[in-house]
Chains A and B, each alone.
Chain A
Amino acid sequence: MRERLRHPFWQGALVLGVAYALFRWGIPYLPPLLGISSAPVPRSVMLQYMLTVLVGILVWVSDNEERWRRFKEPMRALLVQPERRVARGAMLVVLPLLVAFVTYDSLRPKISAPAGLRSVHPANPTSITVRGEAMILEGLENPLRTAGREEEAVELGFDLYYQNCMPCHGDYLDGQGHFAHGFNPLPLPLRGGGTIAQLTESYVFWRIAKGGPGLPREGQPWNSAMPAWDEILTPEEIWAVTLFLYEQAGLSPRTWEEH
């Protein structure tokens, strides 16, 4: 065992094995132990890492004439030594089988859904028509916020949200309502910094009023189940829900002054 550990070939093999284990299992599973989130390394990146390690090992062993000779020894022994002929035979069968399998695996027909990218927050139109009335979105404020009727509006928004929006967007506004699993893409969460906190209230009003059917071309290819709420709620009710969303999620809308 000791002998082997000093042998450059087995040292190289050991480094390769340890590196593989580290990339394959270390990267995804060690950081979470320290409370840092992580994810498995994709296959292509894995291949790149392993090639880098392999090249490193080869540079190291070929750096020294004597080490290079010793490094080649076990391989040469496998090729020529009579007492290695079982291993030799096995290698001659296993290696081509492995190559054949990899070839088959890359050629066999696979089933997968077409991939698609979509813009979650596509640019809004300059104006929309809600119940026959044109509204210019640029600079538009929540009238209920400016009219000083916030408290009353939040109460109305509370009722409307839980009657209409909760089945998909969830009791906790986390996008995990009891119908959420039936839709693809999943309903958006409304809490957290990446959601309505990045948007103006007029944008939120537009998304609620026009829903999935009102998404512009760049928001597609879409499959959104979000209804066009202007068919069900009045503009004032939509503003009330908007106000409520920010209040309940503890977020502030982006304001026009920021631009």
Chain B
Amino acid sequence: MAAVSNPVPRSLGRVLGLVAFGVLVLALRPPPAAGQTTQLDRGREVYDRWCASCHGFEGDGLGPAAAWMLPRPRDFTRGLYQIRTTAGGAIPTDDDIMRVINEGMPGTTMPGWEGQLGRGDREAVLAYLKSFYPPFETLAAPEPLDFGRTPRASPERIEEGREFYQSIECWQCHGDEGRGDGPSAPELEDDWGYPIRALDLTENWRFNGGETVEDIYRRLRTGLDGTPMPAFQDLVDAGFMTDDQLWNLAHFVRSLAPEQRPRVREVIRADRREPGELPASVDAEDWSEVEAFWFPLVGQIIVPPRWFEPAVHGVWVQALHDGQEIAFRISWSDRSQSPDPRWMEWQERFLEVMEPREAGEVEPEARPDQFVLQFPPTIPEGMDRPYFLMGRGGDPVYQWRWRSDQDGAEPANAHGIDDIRPLDGRIEADARWEEGRWRLLLRRSLEPTGTGDRLHFETGVSIPIAFFAWDGDHGEDGARGAISSWYYVHLLEEPPPSVYVSPLVAFVLTGGLGLFVISRAQRRERRPSEAGEGHELAGSADTDDRPRTTDGTDASMGPEADLGRP
């Protein structure tokens, strides 16, 4: 039992000694440095796991996945940040960087991390990525600019903003109607030499720095460092423009995009018109009264050669039918009417950095813009649809194919993305490219029009539909394009007469029943009152001098029920 005979205490003492030493060492380390090191270590750990794939383990923006993206991931070693509240050329505040970490960069591959990483992890990453640019430590803490209060939007402000947009030549890059199709747009590149697109101002949900008028105003003041977008702060300071003019401009830019971010709805409603009253042209006035449905398009990254940066990000679709024909009007932003020689150099530069991996070299070429509307060959039972990506061998899809270098559109069956088999038959098309936007009208009779074409558009059912778009000047063709999965179009049917007759019958029946109940109640009421047995009803508020019974009911009441007639 004696402790001496037990060998354990000696080793225990050694362990205790080590622990004590460890505690002493930890206690003696200067606390701030220790805090910083662990913060940076933690930041590196989180960064290497979640950020390095794109931004690179050295923070140079050259991670293993970077070459699949344009705009390329941020290179942190140059201290250039687009989204700031500080003056042009200045470093951002910590809050600026945190905002991008939290919310991501809409319109790019950068996601928001607020719901994904804990606050501590995000703060550690922030500290770590600042360490890629040493001047962050030596430069004075940057002062955010004072952005003042947001003036209210008004038609006058927006109109003045529009004039200002013209006078300071925003259209040079962004185009007259803001779709990024200005004459200088094909020449733009960022500070790293990569081709960069002038922003399409009609899609504000893709604005890197946020979609609100305040966000737009801030980007105007501070510029987007690393891109060709200048900071107007200096011009305000130098008296060349006023702050109010910048607010007008911000309101105007905001007005170019829809008030609400478009919501994806699964079914397009094709309203019914009287026979023969379908709009014949793409800019017929009638279309302005037809609801437009928005559908997102994404890169074809399913079969080789895959395409990671498509030019078209979404289409607006309207549909009408008149019981004999169906007409679709499709609108989408496209910076050029391809092939446009002014964009050839852009295409060269773009293909150089975004070469599709499996296709080998893709040569810059004069290619047309294209659009495909896709349906199943016949209306399927339930959810059974052919493969959305242009069908498969033996299980095809039916398509209307349009190209900007041909009149009309061609029907075809697709048995796969590279197996398109043209059909005879007639699809009418009317297309117009204006101010960075295609508008395309496609029209066909509800009945099939040729051999091999079997799709009969029925009213009152949901018919699968999908969309594909190619921008020729973006190097797109074949598998290199933008795709959607299946949605539906529903041709409204003429409602059967019962839809109107039944409510009428219900109205009459309910009303009749009500009358019956009232008159019966009143007849029963009168009987006891004639016998002089009044019910204890509340006193009458009537002020007329007609004779009354003891219980206050109107003795002069006629034989018919009192229904509120005076």
**Residue B137 is within 8 A (CB to CB) of chain A in the complex:** no
Cα–Cα distance between A77 and B116 once the two chains are bound (Å): 63
Return the chain A residue nearest B387 by Cβ: A213
**Chain A nearest CB: distance from B394 CB in Å?**
13
Cα–Cα distance between A115 and B389 once the two chains are bound (Å): 21
Q: Is the CB of A248 within 8 A of B564?
A: no
Which of A40-48, A96-104, A127-135 is the interface stretch? A96-104
**What's the count of A-B pairs with C-beta under 8 Å?**
185
Cα–Cα distance between A83 and B308 once the two chains are bound (Å): 76
| 6 A-B interface contacts by CB (under 8 A) | A79-B522, A82-B554, A107-B502, A118-B383, A171-B111, A225-B389
Q: Is the CB of A162 within 8 A of B563?
A: no
Proximity bits, A147-179, B CB within 8 Å = 1, else 0: 000000000001101111011101110101111
Interface residue count for A (Cβ, 8 Å)? Answer: 64
Q: Which residues does chain B contribute within 8 Å of A80, judged by CB atoms?
A: 518, 521-522, 525, 553
Cα–Cα distance between A101 and B499 once the two chains are bound (Å): 11
Interface residues of A in 79-119 (CB under 8 A from B): 79-83, 85-86, 88-93, 95-97, 99-101, 103-104, 107-109, 111-116, 118
Contact of A81 with B537 at beta-carbon distance under 8 Å, contacts A76-B521, A96-B511, A183-B485 already known: yes
Q: Is the CB of A248 within 8 A of B49?
A: yes
Q: Which residues does chain B contribute within 8 Å of A101, judged by CB atoms?
A: 503
Q: Is the CB of B490 within 8 A of A111?
A: yes
Return the chain B residue nearest A89 by Cβ: B564
Interface residues of B in 252-311 (CB under 8 A from A): 264, 266-267, 269, 296-299, 301-304, 308
**Residue B50 is within 8 A (CB to CB) of chain A in the complex:** yes
Return the chain A residue nearest B513 by Cβ: A96
Which of A88, A161, A171 contacts B518 (CB under 8 A)? A88
Q: Which residues of A contact B (CB under 8 A)?
A: 76-77, 79-83, 85-86, 88-93, 95-97, 99-101, 103-104, 107-109, 111-116, 118, 158-159, 161-164, 166-168, 170-172, 174, 176-179, 181-184, 212-213, 220-221, 223, 225, 227, 231-232, 248
**Residue B433 is within 8 A (CB to CB) of chain A in the complex:** no
Which of B53, B486, B495, B537 contacts A184 (CB under 8 A)? B486
Q: Is the CB of B498 within 8 A of A107?
A: yes
Other A-B contacts than A92-B564, A170-B111, 17 sampled, CB-CB below 8 A, are A81-B540, A81-B553, A82-B553, A83-B540, A90-B564, A91-B514, A100-B503, A101-B503, A109-B493, A114-B382, A159-B53, A167-B68, A172-B116, A178-B111, A182-B298, A182-B483, A232-B304
Q: Is the CB of A227 within 8 A of B388?
A: no
Contact of A162 with B564 at beta-carbon distance under 8 Å, contacts A83-B542, A109-B492, A227-B302 already known: no
Q: Is the CB of B111 within 8 A of A88?
A: no
Q: Which residues does chain B contribute within 8 Å of A79, judged by CB atoms?
A: 517-518, 521-522
Interface residues of B in 63-105 (CB under 8 A from A): 63-65, 68
Q: Is the CB of A232 within 8 A of B486?
A: no
Can you list the 10 inter-chain pairs with the closest CB atoms, starting with the nearest?
Answer: A89-B564, A182-B298, A116-B383, A162-B53, A221-B383, A162-B65, A96-B510, A79-B521, A100-B503, A179-B298
Contact of A225 with B485 at beta-carbon distance under 8 Å, contacts A113-B266, A178-B108, A232-B304 already known: yes
**Residue B39 is within 8 A (CB to CB) of chain A in the complex:** no
Q: Which residues does chain A contribute within 8 Å of B345, judged by CB atoms?
A: none
**Residue B337 is within 8 A (CB to CB) of chain A in the complex:** no
Q: Which residues does chain A contribute within 8 Å of B64, judged by CB atoms?
A: 158-159, 162-163
Q: Which residues does chain B contribute within 8 Å of A91, judged by CB atoms?
A: 514
**Chain A nearest CB: distance from B527 CB in Å?**
12
**Residue B385 is within 8 A (CB to CB) of chain A in the complex:** yes
**Chain B nearest CB: distance from A89 CB in Å?**
3
What is the predominant secondary structure among interface residues of chain A facing chain B?
helix
Q: Which residues does chain A contribute within 8 Å of B565, judged by CB atoms?
A: 85
Cα–Cα distance between A164 and B67 once the two chains are bound (Å): 12
**Chain A nearest CB: distance from B487 CB in Å?**
8
Q: Is the CB of A114 within 8 A of B383?
A: yes
Return the chain A residue nearest B301 by Cβ: A167
Cα–Cα distance between A232 and B383 once the two chains are bound (Å): 29
**Residue B449 is within 8 A (CB to CB) of chain A in the complex:** no
**Residue B538 is within 8 A (CB to CB) of chain A in the complex:** yes
Q: Is the CB of A172 within 8 A of B111?
A: yes
Return the chain A residue nearest B105 by Cβ: A178
Q: Is the CB of B384 within 8 A of A220?
A: yes
Q: Is the CB of A100 within 8 A of B68?
A: no
Which of B49, B54, B488, B564 contacts A85 (CB under 8 A)? B564
